[in-house]
Structure 1
Amino acid sequence: MADEQTTEEKAASSEPSIVVWLAILGVLTLIAGGTGAGLGLLITPEPAAVAEQEEDKAETEEEEKPEYSAGEQVTMLPPIITNLVSPRGTYIRLEGAVVFSSVPEGGTELLVSKITDDILSVLHTMTLAQIEGASGLQHLREDLSARAAIRSDGLAKEIVLHSLVVE
């Protein structure tokens, strides 16, 4: 019986207590937290470098902006509403403006109505998949600008889209 008690005492004393396990867990947690904080500080760029990048980005954006001359004229288009080919029952509403490089002879009313009619016929033949996403919108804008330039014999510089709603 005495032998049993001594073996139980030896077994109990050889197992680490819960306090030791909690201490080990705490030390490992501190090491992991310190490592994460150190890596975070190494990865984060310095504020001066970020400010320089933002200034460079602002300068390039200013250079890319198109500049219009004083002789150019912006004329609003009437809202254009039509249905799309696919899917059935889908309608599109487009609002925009035409930028003319110079004032056309006889005013802009007749030319704007011809451009509006041309845009209406283009939109009527399109599907929703053709105008989805940023690239689809860019292609639509380029197509409409090219058609307006052809219709106006080069007087229309571009079409500016204000809103495009598909229902």
Structure 2
Amino acid sequence: MKLLSAPSGHEPYGSNDTRASFWIGFVVLTMISVGTGAMLAAHLVDFTRTSVQRDFLNLEDDATGVPLQVQNARLRTLNPLVTNLAAPRDAWIRVQASVVLSEQPVDDIGILTGHIEEDILAYLRTLTISHIEGAVGLQHLREDLNERAVARSKGAVREIILESLVIQ
């Protein structure tokens, strides 16, 4: 039986010259990649910085120092609401929600959201776990909370967005 061998004068894994040229090429390409990545990162940081500065300078503030965009926002986040359910007594519910305001002007949004939070807490205390189980139960809860918020605000609230609901 005859074993295969490399032709005479050739090393099985290439000569030292080909290994050296491979490593030189590898190092050169790596340096080009690192340089390109650094230049791209520097460009993105500079672009972001100038964009934020431009937006900050263009922002008009009112007398209180709060940006007008924040005061005119139609989405208001409510405080997290935590209470126990009607049954079982040891079950607790935590709701994080936001209200979407209509175009109708509101005298004091803080008072309105406080009243809506109180109504939601009062309603949640009447629920049992079986009322809010599954997709249908969650949909009914959402509809009931929307009806209560619209009625309480006399139309100033368009809808309530449930961000999270945890039952423990």
Structure-1-length-normalised TM-score: 0.56
Matched, 1:125 2:129: no
> Partner of 2:75: helix, strand, or coil?
strand
Counterpart position of 1:82: 83
Greater Rg over alpha carbons, structure:
1
Equivalent pair of 1:80/1:94 in contact (CA under 8 Å): yes
Counterpart position of 1:138: 139
CA shift, 1:155, in A, is 1.1
Equivalent pair of 2:98/2:163 in contact (CA under 8 Å): yes
Counterpart position of 1:68: none
CA distance in 2, matches of 1:112, 1:147: 12
CA distance in 1, matches of 2:115, 2:91: 24
Equivalent pair of 2:106/2:156 in contact (CA under 8 Å): no
CA distance in 2, matches of 1:164, 1:156: 20
CA shift, 1:72, in A, is 6.8
Counterpart position of 1:163: 164
CA distance in 2, matches of 1:160, 1:166: 18
Counterpart position of 2:18: none
CA distance in 2, matches of 1:139, 1:72: 27
CA shift, 1:125, in A, is 0.5
Counterpart position of 1:17: none
Gaps of 5+ in 2: 1-71
RMSD: 1.4
Structure-2-length-normalised TM-score: 0.55
CA distance in 2, matches of 1:103, 1:78: 22
Q: Which has the higher helix share?
A: 1
CA distance in 2, matches of 1:106, 1:115: 15
Equivalent pair of 1:101/1:156 in contact (CA under 8 Å): yes
Per-residue CA distance 1:116-148 (angstroms, 9 max, x = gap): 000000000100000000000000000000000
Q: How many residues align?
A: 97
Counterpart position of 2:27: none
Counterpart position of 1:97: 98
Equivalent pair of 1:73/1:103 in contact (CA under 8 Å): no
Counterpart position of 1:57: none
User: Runs of at least 4 residues of structure 1 off by over 4 A?
Assistant: none
Sequence identity of aligned pairs in percent? 46
